[in-house]
Amino acid sequence: MKIGFISLGCSKNLVDTEMMIGLVKKYGLTVVNNPQEAEIILINTCGFIESAKQEAINTILEMAEYKKRNCKYIIATGCLVQRYEKELEKALPEVDLWIACNEYDKFYEKINGLLKKQTESVTLSYFDRTITTGNKMAYLKIAEGCSNRCTYCAIPYIRGPFVSRKMEDIIKEANKLAENGIEELIVIAQDTTKYGIDIYNQPKLAQLLQELEKIEKIKWIRFLYAYPETITDELIQVVKNSKKICHYFDIPIQHISNKILKRMNRKSDKSSTKSIIQKLRKEIPDVIIRTSLIVGFPGETEEDFKELYEFVQETEFNKLGVFMYSKEDNTPAAKLPEQVHPATKKSRHKKIMELQQEISRKKLKEKIGQKYIALIEAKSFDNKYYIGRTYMDVPDMDGVVFIKNSQNQKQNENLIGNFVKCKITDVKDYDLIGEFAK
**pLDDT single digits (tens) 37-79:** 999 999 999 988 888 999 999 999 999 999 888 899 999 999 9
Region of poorest pLDDT, from 4-13, 110-119, 143-152, 209-218: 110-119
308-335: pLDDT as tens digits: 999 999 999 999 999 999 999 999 999 9
Instruction: Give DSSP secondary structure letters for 276-293.
Output: HHHHHHHH-TT-EEEEEE
Residue 410 predicted with pLDDT over 70: no
Among 45-54, 219-228, 356-365, whose mean pLDDT is lowest? 45-54
Region of poorest pLDDT, from 5-19, 39-53, 380-394, 405-419: 405-419
Q: How confident is the model at residue 243, as a pLDDT?
A: 94
Candidates 300, 292, 296, 286; CA nearest to 327 is 296
Q: Where exactly are the structural domains of the chain?
A: 2-126, 131-365, 371-436
CATH architecture of 131-365: Alpha-Beta Horseshoe (3.80)
Those residues whose C-beta lies under 8 Å from the C-beta of residue 185, and which sit 6 or more positions away, are 137, 138, 139, 140, 174, 177, 212, 218, 220, 221, 222
Average pLDDT, the chain: 94
Question: Is 266's pLDDT higher than 80?
Answer: yes
Query: Taking 70 as the threshold, does the pLDDT of residue 8 lie above it?
Result: yes
> If pLDDT is split at 50, 70 and 90, which confidence band does 408 have?
low
Structure letter (DSSP) for residue 68: G
pLDDT of amino acid 131: 97
Share of the chain above pLDDT 70, in %: 98
Answer yes or no: is pLDDT of 411 > 80.
Answer: no
The predicted pLDDT at position 242 comes to 97
| Residue 115 φ/ψ, nearest 5 degrees | -85, 0
| pLDDT computed for residue 413 by the predictor | 64
CATH of 2-126, one of 3.40.50.1400, 3.40.50.12160, 3.30.420.40, 3.90.280.10: 3.40.50.12160
Structurally, what CATH architecture does the domain formed by 371-436 represent?
Answer: Beta Barrel (2.40)
The H or E element that residue 148 is part of is none
Report the pLDDT value the prediction gives residue 26, as an integer from 0 to 100: 86
Asked if residue 422 has pLDDT above 90, the reply is yes
